[in-house]
Structure 1
Amino acid sequence: MLHHRTVKEQYEQAAARDQLKILIVGAGIAGVTAAQLLRKDGQYPVLIERHAGNSHPGYMLALMPMVDSALNDLGVRDEYRENSTALKSYGFHGHKGKLIREDSMSAILDRYGDYRGIARGELLDVLTLGGCDVAFDTTVTRIAEMDGGTQVTFQSKDETRQFAFDLVIIADGIHSSTRKLVMGDLPVDIVNTKWGGWVVWAPEDDNMGLGEELWGAGFFYGVYPVKGKLGVFLGGAIDDTQKGPAKFVSEVQKKLTVINPRMQSCLNEVAQTPDAFFWSLDDCRCLQWAFGNTILLGDAAAGFLPTAGIGAGMAIESAWVLSRMLRYADGGNTGALLKAYEKAQRPRVEAAQKTSRGLAKIMFRQSRLLAALRDLSMRLVSVEMALGPIQKLVADRPDPDSLAKRALEK
């Protein structure tokens, strides 16, 4: 679990025991994974979070087998399985609600490892079993590379402090405020779909291995099982969702000719949850991750649209690759390791992100004619075909130890 501990308290412990003083900015999935892996290796990175507590409203995640290595290294694979649900099949509904096809996900991904649904809060609890120190309500206001290390200025409530680090990992999300401090005026490639939607929870049912999606004309509906409940997303163009969830649900229902019991239950939950978490569907891609002894990680480096269900998995994999490579760091070679990490991992992440962006162009459509044509094509395209590039990434696992050794041989 996450426990508040000030930057000063964490830094004093790190300075007393670590050869390499590390700062991690952001206690989301990527930042926590990196912190816990480094701590498992005997390091004590300082971890900070801008929010006042672990108050994220949460949403559902589908995690592919690329996360297994990190979970194994942390020793929490069994706990992960106990707190998640196996995703066995995927159902695709046409734009009027009729089920067009149902494909086995087990047949596609089981050969590589687990494919499971889990709530974000449950995942953080699994990752932080045994405890995880973090300084809440703390931000970075300045980062300066100097001869004696990287000087970082922190702001926490009414207190300002400054400490020196050998490595800074920026993992504070897609809208990172820290990223600008090292990137300056370098551009960030952003895709703004001008769509968004609500995330709510619905009661579990008798088919908890089935995830479903409906790509409508002007809306998108998805239901994704996690342990004990169903994660539901309903979204559309921002101009339409501004009418509120109840009104939007009413308009969606008018476009459907087939509404099965699960769909009706989930739509009711959206309509009746006025304080539902609203997810703006945009992403970002930074064209450079490594800056001296500072590195971007997770959504701060490449934030994903949720269309391929792989963003969180890539964030965990990236944290694992980075932390394993840092086993070879001695202070003097940190910059070289970070460059090698970026060279190897950025193409993988961007390949996955390309798939997410490509699916978004197909899914987020207003035209009924295009939606009908899309239905016809989806009768012929299996999930296995659609996720072909993702399967290649899952099958071709990175080898961080070899990457680090090659980088240090040069």
Structure 2
Amino acid sequence: MLNPSTISEQYAQAAQDDLKVLIVGAGVAGITLAQLLREQGHHPVLIERNNDDSHPGYMLALMPMVDDVFMDLRLRDIYRARSVALRDYGFHAHRGAMMRIDSLAGMLECYGDYRGIARGTLLSVLTDKGCDVTFGATVKTLQDHGHHVAVQIGDDRQALGLDFDLVVIADGIHSSTRALILGDRKVATVDTGWGGWVVWVPGDNDMALAEELWGAGFFYGVYPVKGKLGVFLGGDIKDTRHGPQHFIATVRKKLTVINPRMERCLQAIAAANTPFFWPLTDCRSPQWSVGRTVLLGDAAAGFLPTAGIGAGMAMESAWVLAGMLRHENGRNLAALLRAYESAQRPRVEAAQDTSRSLARLMFRQSRILAVLRDAAMRFVSVEAALRPIQKLLANKPDPDEIAKGCAGCTAVRDQLNLPHAD
């Protein structure tokens, strides 16, 4: 549960901490980090620019790299109870017939759980023990003075000046705070030119089966979560601008097979009053850490949903950062953040590259390409697409190991009984 709190109330709790932390953004990444730090005994100040937690929501597939988060938060059983195991992946030919069903469990279960969950449910799980947050607050100014960061936090009416040892910017792909540390440096983006609608449909008898159809000029996907199905239907922005009913009529003309689940899903999208529209874009920051400030989650690298790994990587990054901060008292923070970025950024960007590669294959208009994709998928399972992710899962990051290479992080090295760098 998110507990609305004032900045002053949160800052008073943080006053006695050796490390005063500000987390900007109460999304998946920001809440994960805040809760991990609180589990360690810290009192980070968490702020959110929206006035409440009424995000429209969408479905997430969480890879096994999130398991350590739930273990450390002692929420593993709750997480499993409120999510579903994604065991199978069904691939439809571009005209609608089911072409093959592959075992996701067989590909990933040796690394841990692969589960479907609604975004809102995930946030509810992460905040099961309560989570203080100040809504309607943004960072107005941010100045790094070397030994602390001076921050003005407020709304349209007033701003409050506070000092922090660390500022974590986790306010999403369209971060309004990121420019305060990047200045004129540009964030790289991939805009697929596609977007689509997300709706919820009641669950059925195949709640372990996720399905996708890579069509000629459209994409359809169904992803189970607890008690319901998350459905996505999208295409080129030029084709979706006329609304879901018009677009669905176009899609139906391209299909020769529509199974009962697909029919229910298409009808649900057509009947939805104001379905959530998801523009398919991403972002990649040229730098994560500047002094005592660091980017996290979508603010650092916002993912396309094509590989189903963006939320998992954001949670893993929060877990690695929290693990490294466990040994830090603030004196060598800039060096620690550089070590964190050096270790975690290549992992995140490798996963993001996988998402981008899949997008180039999925989001195409050509019917000829759709036929060729179908032919290839008769012989190649989804494991080929997951292989880069399997490599990431097999090489799990270790916050303590990362700290070993943190030149100048004397506090960290003392905690780990490591020799100091020359």
TM-score by length of 1: 0.99
Aligned counterparts of 1:246 and 1:266: Cα–Cα separation in 2: 12
Alignment of 1:289-328 (within 5 A): 289-328=288-327
The one-letter code matched in structure 2 to 1:162 is: G
Equivalent positions of 1:137-286 (< 5 A) are 137-286=136-285
CA RMSD across the alignment: 0.8
Q: Deviations over 1:382-403 (max 9, x none)?
A: 1111110000101110000121
Distance 2:340 2:285 in 1: 15
The aligned counterpart of 2:114 is 115
Cα deviation for residue 157 of structure 1 reads 4.6
**Hey, what does 2:399 align to over in structure 1?**
400
CA displacement, residues 315-370 of structure 1 (integer Å, 9 cap, x when unaligned)? 00000000000011111111111000000000000000000000000000001111
Aligned residue in 1 for 2:60: 61
Instruction: Tell me the equivalent position of 2:9.
Output: 9
Whether the 8 Å contact between 2:24 and 2:169 is mirrored in structure 1 is yes
Structure 2 gap ranges (5+): 410-419
Q: For residues 372 and 398 of structure 1, what CA distance do their matches in structure 2 show?
A: 40
Aligned to 2:416: none
The residue that corresponds to 2:414 in the other structure is none
Q: SS at the partner of 1:135? A: strand
Q: 2:298 touches 2:314 (CA, 8 Å); kept in 1?
A: yes
Query: How many residues matched?
Result: 409
Aligned to 1:31: 30
What amino acid sits opposite 2:49 in the alignment? R
Unaligned runs of 5+ in 1: none
Q: Which amino acid aligns with 1:7?
A: I
* Secondary structure in structure 2 of the residue aligned to 1:175: coil
Give the whole-Å Cα distance in 2 for the aligned partners of 1:384 and 1:289: 31
Which SS does the other structure have where 2:281 is aligned?
A: strand
Q: Distance in 2 between matches of 1:201 and 1:24?
A: 31
Whether 2:347 is the aligned partner of 1:344: answer: no
Question: Are the equivalent residues in 2 in contact too, given 1:173–1:300 (CA < 8 A)?
Answer: yes
| Alpha-carbon distance between aligned partners in 2 of 1:176 and 1:227, rounded to the nearest angstrom | 30
Q: Which residue of 1 aligns with 2:47?
A: 48
Alpha-carbon separation, structure 1, partners of 2:273 and 2:256: 26
CA positional deviation for 1:99: 1.0
Give, in whole Å, the separation in 1 of the partners of 2:104 and 2:330. 44
- For the residues of structure 2 that align with 1:199 and 1:54, how far apart are their CA atoms? 18
The structural deviation recorded for 1:406 is 3.0
Corresponding residue for residue 373 of structure 1:
372
User: Counterpart of 2:84?
Assistant: 85
Show structure 1 runs of 4+ deviating over 6 A: none
How far apart, in 1, do the equivalents of 2:184 and 2:376 lie?
42
| SS of equivalent to 1:369 | helix
Q: 1:90, 1:102 → 2: CA distance? A: 5
Query: How far did 1:250 drift?
Result: 1.1
**What TM-score results when the alignment is normalised by the length of structure 2?**
0.96
Partner AA of 1:217 in structure 2: A
Amino acid of the residue matched to residue 231 of structure 1? G
Percent identity between the two aligned chains = 63
What is the CA deviation profile of residues 113-135 of structure 1, one whole-angstrom value per residue up to 9, with x for unaligned ones? 10000000110000001100000
Letter paired with 2:195: G
